[in-house]
Amino acid sequence: MAIKTTIIPIASGKGGVGKSFLTANLSAGIAELGYSTVVVDLDLGGSNLYTYLGIPNKHPGIGDYLKGKKLKFNDLLVSTGISNLKYIPGDGRTPFMANISYAQRMTLLRKIKQLPARYVLLDLGSGSTFNTLNFFGIAHKGIIVTTSEVPSIMNFLAFLRNFMFYIILNVASHNKEALKMLITAFRQPIKSEPLTVKSLLNKISDVDSNLAIKAHDLCRNYRPRIIINMGDSADELKILRRIDDILKTRLSIEADYFGFIYYDDVVRRSVQNRETLFAHYPQCIASKSIKHVARRITKIWDQPVENSMVRLFEDTKRKQALWKAY
């Protein structure tokens, strides 16, 4: 029987929010629960996931595969020393991989979907490059990592805005009139009324109503999961109401608020020593909160999380009292 594979792209609006660290350890957490897991470094041009897994950078990676070095994609799988977890390096020994072609992206997407694992986690590059937006769209449920700091939140909202606009632009790409209209809208002066998904769909509808319906349906399919990283207190989650309002009114997005990872001093130590967090600090509060998210992924990933904002706040509040007591 073929394995049902769940692909989880993981992105962030900016660097420095702990995305790669979280991806590596979340993969280890899922593998620890007994599920076959592959983590793929798709931060092409800046691949460093190996440092968080404690693996030397000596293995061929996606860069070598794309450069036609007679490798099969599954030959890139590297054993991590963690049961059930394998890793595919990014750049490998091939530099200048930040900008790959459309054909190369399509090849990667096809090969990733064929990986023999129950869970495949993709560590994407930070920001809103076409590579990142394209890979984030491989699944309808992807993870966005942010902190509760205002600059980080602004960048994560910008990422989701760019992602939704990217979807709409792709749908309209074969209609010259709609495409021209969208490009004009994207170039409007900063002082103009902010663009929203709804306003763009209305503009497309004036040109082609069926195209607008198709774009609307595609946008509605995406339901990102948001993880707040490096937090100190559940009270930081109070900002989610404002975030949720922006996502719904400007981007027409229904998001699930999926996890809260506590800040922990030992994380820096584990990164400096190139150690996996779980193996060396299993009882630290960061390990406990990452393991909690890993369990949630294996239990409820395929279903919408009702009242996710309230549930995350209440759950985090309970865990805060329990975990910080030790």
Q: Is residue 208 part of a domain?
A: no
Domain residues for the domain of 120 are: 6-148+223-245+260-323
Strand order in the sheet with 256-262: 78-79, 85-88, 37-42, 119-124, 6-12, 143-146, 225-231, 256-262
Q: Is residue 211 part of a domain?
A: no
Q: What angle do CA 152, 155, 156 make, to 5 degrees?
A: 85
Give the count of domains, the chain: 1
Q: Is residue 55 part of a domain?
A: yes
**pLDDT at site 325:** 53
Dump pLDDT digits (tens) for 112-158: 999 999 999 999 999 898 889 999 999 999 999 999 999 999 999 99
**pLDDT at site 193:** 84
Question: What CATH number did the domain enclosing 68 receive?
Answer: 3.40.50.300
Q: Is residue 57 part of a domain?
A: yes
**pLDDT at site 202:** 94
Q: Is residue 318 part of a domain?
A: yes
Q: Is residue 278 part of a domain?
A: yes
The tens place of each residue's pLDDT in the chain, 326 residues long, gives 567 999 999 999 989 999 999 999 999 999 999 999 999 999 988 889 999 999 998 999 998 898 876 889 999 999 999 999 999 999 866 766 767 888 999 999 999 999 999 999 999 999 898 889 999 999 999 999 999 999 999 999 999 999 999 999 999 999 999 999 999 999 988 778 889 999 999 999 999 999 999 999 999 999 999 999 999 999 999 999 999 999 999 999 999 999 999 999 999 999 888 888 888 898 999 999 999 999 999 999 999 899 999 999 999 998 887 776 55
Q: Does residue 165 contact residue 171 with C-beta atoms inside 8 Å? A: no
Q: Is residue 35 part of a domain?
A: yes
Question: Facing residues of 10 across strands?
Answer: 123, 143
Question: Facing residues of 11 across strands?
Answer: 144
Residue 226 to residue 147: CA distance in whole angstroms: 10
Q: Is residue 80 part of a domain?
A: yes
**Tokens 């929010």, residue?**
17
Dump pLDDT digits (tens) for 60-74: 999 889 887 688 999
Buried-state track 19-48, b at ≥16 Cβ within 10 A, e below 16: bbbbbbbbbbbbbbbebbbbbbbbbbbebe
**pLDDT at site 1:** 56
